[in-house]
Structure 1
Amino acid sequence: MGYELDFLGVGDESKSGDAIALRFGNLHGYRHEQTVVIIDGGFKSTGEKLVEHIRSHYGTEQVDVVISTHPDQDHINGLEAVLTELEVGELWIHQPWNHNKNLADKFSDGRVTDNSLGERLKENLEKAWSLIQLAEKRGITVREPFTGMQDASGCLKVLGPSQSYYEELLPDFEGMPTRAAEGLDALAGLLKSVAAKVKRFFATWGEDLLDDDAVTSPRNNSSVITQLIIDDRRLVFTADAGIQALDQAADQIEGCLSGAELRFIQIPHHGSRRNVGPTVLNRLIGYPVTQGESRAITAIASTAKASEPKHPRKAVLNAFTHRGVRVLATRGNGICHIHDAPDRSGWSTLNAEPYHFEYEDEEA
C-alpha cells in the first residue's frame, strides 16, 4: 500500500491557494485497487490544471472523493471544473444554511429569522451553494464532513471540525449580522488589515517566534481537517485551520489507537503565522529537536510565486524545521510527495527549506 500526494502550484502572482490531488492503495496495480481524492481546487483557473493532472499522472477520469475544506475562493473555485469534467463519486462539503436552527437568537437584530439567515448564508457562500447544486445535478453523493466521518476504504478520516464546533463558528462568518454577544470587536481588530512595517528578525534554533494566542477567521477555523493512514503512516491535511481547530484535531489524533506515526502534515493557511503556535505544534509534531536531528516528517506550504513575506512566514517555516520536519514550499510550483509509488519521469528531488537564522518580515 502506498500513496502519491500532489500539491499543485497555485497563484501566479501574490495570492496563494490550495489544490491537492491524492491517490492511495496499490499504486503498482489497477485503478480498482486505488482511491483517488481531491482536496480543494484552488482558483477557477486551477480547475483545468487539476483535471489534466488527474488524467495525466493518475491515468483516470474517476475521482472517489472531492473535499471542499471551506468556501474561500482560493480553495473552492477550481472545483467546478473537477465536478463537470471528471466522474466524481462523493463531494464532501459543509452546508451552513442547514445549520440555522435557533441561529437568529445569536444576533441583536430582532428582524432576522432562522430562515432569512439560511438564505443569507446561501447568498454569501454562493459558490458552495452552486457547487452542491452541480453535484446533485450530476448524481454525485454530497456528504457533510464532520469529525469521525470516513471514506469507503476507512483510510481517510475527518478529524475536524465537529458539528457542534462548526455551528459555534457560523454566527461569526463574514457577512452575518451584528452579534448579540460582546467581545467580537477585539477579534475584528486582530484581523483588520493594517500597514505593516518590515523589520529584521534574528532566530535561535528551537525558539518559536510565534504566539499561542494568534487568531484566524471563523471561516478558516471551519476548514475540514483530514487524515490518511497508510502502512502505519499518518498524513494530516489542515487547509486554513487555526489554533483552536488544530487543537481539536490533535485531540482526535491522541485518541487514535492505530499506532500510526506522522509522516506528512500540511502547513496551515499557506504558512500564515495566525494559524499555529508552539503548544499546538508540540501536540501535533513534538518539541524542538537538536539541530541536525530528523523526525522523518515532511511538511508542505502551498504558496504563490510572489507571496512572500506574507506566505510563507519564515517564523512558521522555522517552527516546523526545528521540530525535525523537512519543510517545503510550492511558491507557485507543483510538489509531489510519495511512498511506495511509481517513479515519475522528469521529476526531481527538492531541497528542504533552510533554517532562517536571519530574515526580514512584517511586524504585524
Structure 2
Amino acid sequence: MSEELAFEIDFHPVGDGEKGGDAITIQYGRLNSTYNHSQKVIVIDGGTLASGEKIVEHIKTVYNTDTVDLIINTHPDNDHCSGLREVINNLKVKEIWVHRPWLSSNEFLSMFKDGRITSNSLKEKLKDALNIVSEIESLAKSKRIILREPFTGLTFDDGVITVLGPTQDFYKELLPQFRCAPEPVNESLLSKAFSAVKDTVQMIAEAMHIETLDESGETSPENNSSVVSLFSYAGQKVLFTGDAGIPALKSVIEKASYNGIQLNNLHMLQVPHHGSKRNVSPSVLNSIKGQSAYISCPMKGDPKHPAKKVTNALIRRNMQPFHTKGNILCRKHNTHDRVGYSSATPIPFYDQVEE
C-alpha cells in the first residue's frame, strides 16, 4: 500500500441546530510512502467561521501540513463561504476558484428595470451584497493568491479536478435573478417558479418499487450557479455538487456525456443542498450514480435535510447514503484506518417519507 496513490475526503459538520452548510477537505498523493511522500490539499467550501477554524486545525493536525493547494467556493451563500476566510488567513493558500459576479456587471445593465443603474453602481451593489465573497477576493489579492472563475472545462493538477458546471452562458442567465441583483426586466424560467414558502410536512408511503421523488423540485438561482466538479484520482471518481439544482445537474449530465465523461460509475457522490428533495430527481439520479452518497446536513435537519424520499431514491439505485449530523465523515482510498475513527452507519430505507 505504501507506494500506491491514495486520497482521503472529509465532510466536516457545519452547525449544531437546524442550520447547516458545506465544508469539505481532500488530501491526495502518495500518502503512505516513507521515501516518496507527496501530498496536495483541496478545500471545497468552508461552512461558517466556526467550521472554518476546525478545518484549519484538521489540515494542520490530521493532514500534517499548513498548505492548501486549491480552494473552491461553490456559490456565494454564507453557509458555504464564511469559513473560507479562516482558511485563507491561517494557512498558505496557493489558488482560489470563486465566482465574482461583479466582473460581469457591464453585460447586464440592460436587463434591469432601473435605467439609472451604471456599471460601477451595479458592481458596488453586488460586492456589498456578497460581502464575504468580496472579502475573499480582497484577501486573495493581498496575499497574491491565484484567482480563477470556475466554469465548465477549468482543470487543476492535470485533471485531478475538472469543473463540469456551470457553463458561462448558464451562469450569465442566472446572475440577473440573484437576490442581490436589482429587479430584472424579465424573469427567467429558472427563477420564476422558485418559492421560499415552507413545505407542509405530511408523510406518505414508499417501498422499493414505489418512488415519490419527482422532477418538480425547484431551488434558487444562487444554488443553481453552484460549481459542480469531478475529482478523478487513483482510478476513482467523486462528484461534488454544492447546492446545484435539477436544471444545473441536467446541464452537467449533458455536457459530461458530450465530452465522453461517465457519471454513472462514481466512487462517491456528494448529494446537493444537504439532501433536499428540491435539488435532485429520478432522471438526475438515473444518470449520476456511485457506490455511496455523502450528505452534509445539520443535527436537527429532519425531515427536509436530508429528505427521506431522497435517501430512499439513492438506496433504490444501489447507492449507500451517509450523513454528517454533527460528525466528520471520511471517505478514504488506499489509506490506513485513522485512530479514533469508526465505521459510519448508512441511512436506512424508510417506508414513510415526507410528501
The interval holding the TM-score normalised by the smaller chain is: over 0.9
| 1: CA distance, partners of 2:40 / 2:240 | 17
Cα distance between partner residues in 1 of 2:100 and 2:28? 28
Q: Distance in 2 between matches of 1:75 and 1:149?
A: 21
The Cα offsets for residues 19-57 of structure 1, whole Å up to 9 and x where unpaired, read as 101011211137962221000000111111000011111
Q: Which moved more, 1:63-72 or 1:114-123?
A: 114-123
The one-character-per-residue Cα deviations of 1:110-133 (angstroms, maximum 9, x if unpaired) are: 222233222211111011011110
Q: Are 2:5 and 1:11 aligned?
A: no
Aligned mate of 1:245, from 234, 245, 248: 248
Alignment RMSD (CA, Å): 1.9
Cα 1:181/1:109, change in 2 over 3 Å: same
* TM-score relative to the length of structure 2: 0.93
Q: Deviations over 1:300-321 (max 9, x none)?
A: 1101111111211101111111
The aligned residue for residue 267 of structure 2 is 263
1:153-168 paired onto structure 2 within 5 Å: 153-168=158-173
Deviation at 1:299, TM superposition (A): 0.6
Question: What is aligned with 1:138?
Answer: 143
1:264 Cα shift? 0.5
Deviation digits for residues 147-198 of structure 1 (CA, Å, limit 9, x no counterpart): 11111242111111111111111000002222211567x945642324x433
The residue type equivalent to 1:15 in the other structure is K
- Structure 2 Cα separation of the partners of residues 105 and 258 of structure 1: 37
What corresponds to 1:220 in structure 2? 223
User: Is residue 2:297 matched to residue 1:303?
Assistant: yes
SS of 1:46 mapped into structure 2: helix
Distance 1:198 1:242 in 2: 21
Counterpart check, 1:230 vs 2:224:
no
Alignment partner, residue 280 of structure 2: 276
1:321 to 315, 325, 334: 315
CA contact (8 A) 2:105 2:123 kept: yes
Tell me what 1:124 maps to: 129
SS at match of 2:86: helix
Change in Cα spacing, 1:66 to 1:206, as seen in structure 2 (3 Å) is farther
Instruction: Specify the SS of the correspondent of 2:94.
Output: strand
Contiguous gaps of at least 5 residues in structure 2: none
Change (3 A) 1:2 1:207: farther
Give the TM-score taking structure 1 as reference length: 0.91
Partner of 2:204: 201
**SS state of the match for residue 155, structure 2?**
coil
SS in 1 for 2:8: strand
Q: What are the superposed Cα offsets for residues 306-346 of structure 1, whole Å, 9 maximum, x if unpaired?
A: 11112111011111111000100111211000111232011
Q: Does 1:108 align with 2:102?
A: no
Residue segments in structure 1 that go unaligned for 5+ positions in a row = 286-295
SS in 1 for 2:135: helix
Residue 21 to residue 206, structure 1, CA distance change in 2 (3 Å): farther
Q: What SS does the corresponding residue of 2:125 show, helix, strand or coil?
A: helix
How far residue 204 of structure 1 moved from its aligned partner, in angstroms, is 1.8
After superposing the two structures, state which structure 1 stretch, 66-75 or 201-210, moved more.
201-210
Counterpart for residue 2 of structure 1: 6
Letter in 1 for 2:183: T
SS in 2 for 1:170: helix
